[in-house]
Amino acid sequence: MTHDDLQAAGGDPRQLFVFSGGFLRGPRIRRILTLAGWTPRLGLPGAGDAVGVWGASPTAWRGQAVARRRGARIVTIEDAFLRSILPGRAKGRLARRGPIGLIVDPIGLHFDPSVPSLIETLVLSPRAAALEAEAALGIASLRAADMSKYNAHLPEADVPAPGYVLVIDQTAGDASLRGAGRTRFLQMLQAARDEHPGRPIIVRSHPETSAGLRHGHLTKADLRTGETFCDTPVSPWKLVGNAAAVYAVSSQLGYEAMLAGHRPRLFGQPFYAGWGLSDDETPTPRREVAAGITVERLFAASHLLAPAWYDPCRDRLTDFTGALRQIEAEAKAWRQDAAGHVAYGMRLWKRRFIADAFGNGGGVRFAGRPSPKVTLAWANAADAVPQAARVEDGFLRSRGLGASLVPPLSLVADRTGIYYDPTRESDLERLIAAPLPPGGERRARQVASRLREAALTKYNLAGRVPVIDAAGRRVILVPGQVENDASIRLGAGRERTNLALLRRVRADNPGALIVWKPHPDVEAGLRPGAVQVADLKGLADVTADAAPAAALIDMVDEVWTITSTLGFEALIRGKPVTTLGAPFYAGWGLTSDLGPVPPRRTARPGIAGLIHAALIAYPRYMDPVSGLPCPVEVALDRLAEPGATTPGPALRALSKLQGALAGHAWIWR
């Protein structure tokens, strides 16, 4: 909510007098309010000043009483409808992060139907009407991302078979119930029985009830034969998707059922009731006079316009899309880490960032020996623990080399295979072959544009660009590789060394100008794969020592490679790529493939599909500034900031020692 919104509603976007410690103790709540134009403070307000209260909480009466006595205005604050992974009442570091957004309402309270509210006002505004197309994309994106208010649900949780009637319970004392209690919920349950005889009924408990944090209104003892109590971590969207009918009092899940295409039966008066989109036990006459209200218009008000969304990585306000991407990144990490990990094959220098990156649930323990308990393994050690997810660096890694002990911004944890092994399917292959999510193509193209504009690649090393005098010849860039790398061992064709690669490129392109770029690890003396100067004669016209990859790609006409990720970076920049092996990006109709590409790669995802899979869906990113899981867009910001990803002094010292022991790479690999 902007300053203009607040001023138009009669508010003064400056001081906000508060009488609940939660506003001052919760750093994120205080920060969002400050960024939204309010300054929470203690003291006595004057006439016309604003008093902030948390919804209809047990402490709200204090602020309300002071406001009445002092002639001040009430501003209500509530969590936005996309909040966090765990409920606010949960324990632990993850729960203490706070909400990703707030609804700051100077008009009323969205779950109090007795007076208008900010959301209700926005529903009726031209602004919401103008955002219906954007709202439709937002609804589709929310569903595809499987995000709700709380997001501690697991993809593998069983969903009941379709055809049931869903009855949604809520926590006892929920302020949105406006005093309604157990009798109302029993009435709703009976109505579901009477109106759908013979259909199975599922009662869905609230996430806080399932977690043992608060009591609900309905219990298993209230159920009859054929009725089920659901308190498992199942996806809310899948649950409403399989329902034949949905019953709610004022639950947000009832709203999400509406967004999913249901016409819910409502026994309360939540903000989404009374617009002609639900069957209401209790009418809301003030809203019923509005005509033509759509679910998209409701969503535009509730998710696009009303909330102040927060980006905790960049520490600034954002929009709904930015908040969704952040929560999606956090939820992805939590869902993979919820049960905790036992990690194997992690060198000592890697353990700190592995513990941070995968510590979003039950924590990480490191094992020195293979065992059935291992859930994560560095990819080159994973054969000893076939049940474990294989961990590797992502394709946007760092400013500096892994062999130089620079920690990565991105990691992958592949539960099927690993991206550089074409002999078996991988999670990445499945993502490449899958349809793009709503808005996925536009997002992938935006990422590609950012990469090109900022000249970002996997390692982002500084260096000098050689002079290339093509004189009308076609210029081919040939990136060198580490010759004992797993991608060569598993994915190479006939050519398995850098010298063989150069000979093949020259034989097939006798008139071309060939630019040879040694691999940075090889240049640093840390890995094998050097080609002697004498051997380059007649094969390479230019040797691009220590040259930045992005600049080189821009200077050439095409790239030939065995399996180098530089080929993927060239595709992002629109350059033709020829592969002699089977890298993850070969076989999808985007490259000229002269190597042994797996025949199972029959999908044609286009460049946007490949980018989305490899840079958005497959890796997890860790923000080095906030320490939070983050979306790729934050990682791009960090890579564009010199110094944001610099390793600490301990790793720099260890890297120097490693250089002195370059012949003993087993120590750090």
Q: What is the DSSP string of 81-107?
A: SS-BSS-TTS-STTGGG--SEEEEESS
The residues facing 391 across adjacent strands are 378, 413
Question: Could you check whether 130-305 and 433-633 share the same CATH topology?
Answer: yes
The C-alpha atoms of residue 623 and residue 638 are separated, in whole angstroms, by 8
Put residue 54 in one of left, alpha, beta given phi > 0 → left and psi -120 to 50 → alpha: beta
When the candidates are 2.40.50, 3.40.50, 1.10.3470, 1.10.1900, the CATH number that belongs to 433-633 is 3.40.50
Environment class of 62 (CB within 10 Å of its CB; exposed 0-12, middle 13-18, buried 19+): middle
The closest of 68, 85, 83, 534 to 333, measured between CA atoms, is: 85
- What pLDDT sits at residue 37? 95
- What pLDDT sits at residue 559? 98
The C-alpha atoms of residue 63 and residue 51 are separated, in whole angstroms, by 6
The closest of 325, 335, 302 to 85, measured between CA atoms, is: 335
Q: What is the distance of C-alpha 43 from the center of its chain?
A: 40
pTM: 0.92
Instruction: Give pLDDT < 70 ranges for the chain.
Output: 1-13, 400-405, 643-669
- What pLDDT sits at residue 405? 66
The C-alpha atoms of residue 624 and residue 143 are separated, in whole angstroms, by 29
The C-alpha atoms of residue 143 and residue 238 are separated, in whole angstroms, by 9
- What pLDDT sits at residue 659? 38
The C-alpha atoms of residue 639 and residue 334 are separated, in whole angstroms, by 24
Q: How many CB atoms lie within 10 A of CB 600?
A: 12
- What pLDDT sits at residue 649? 53
- What pLDDT sits at residue 21? 83
Q: What kind of fold does domain 130-305 have according to CATH? A: Rossmann fold (3.40.50)
- Helices 132-145/252-259 angle, 10° precision: 110
- What pLDDT sits at residue 657? 40
Beta strands in 467-556 (DSSP E): 475-479, 513-517, 542-543
Per the CB < 8 A criterion, the answer to whether 85 and 150 are in contact is: yes
Beta strands in 207-295 (DSSP E): 227-230, 243-248, 265-266, 279-280
Environment class of 640 (CB within 10 Å of its CB; exposed 0-12, middle 13-18, buried 19+): middle
> What CA dihedral angle connects 101, 75, 8 and 296, to 10 degrees?
40
- What pLDDT sits at residue 123? 97
The residues facing 643 across adjacent strands are none
- What pLDDT sits at residue 13? 53
Q: Residue written as tokens 């009637």?
A: 165
Q: Residue written as tokens 């599922």?
A: 202
User: What three-state secondary structure class fits 172?
Assistant: coil
Measured CA distances, 24 to 33, 256, 525 (Å): 11, 32, 54
Q: Where are the domains of the chain?
A: 3-129, 130-305, 433-633
Per the CB < 8 A criterion, the answer to whether 429 and 638 are in contact is: no
Measured CA distances, 14 to 26, 38, 329 (Å): 19, 5, 33
- What pLDDT sits at residue 644? 55
* First-to-last C-alpha distance (Å) of the chain: 50
pLDDT tens-digit series, residues 613-659 = 999 999 999 999 999 999 999 999 999 987 655 555 544 444 444 43
- What pLDDT sits at residue 667? 47
Per the CB < 8 A criterion, the answer to whether 569 and 486 are in contact is: no
- What pLDDT sits at residue 506? 98
pLDDT tens-digit series, residues 229-258 = 999 999 999 999 999 999 999 999 999 999
The C-alpha atoms of residue 233 and residue 236 are separated, in whole angstroms, by 9
The C-alpha atoms of residue 460 and residue 404 are separated, in whole angstroms, by 13
The closest of 77, 27, 70, 31 to 49, measured between CA atoms, is: 70
Alpha helices in 36-130 (DSSP H): 60-70, 118-123, 126-130
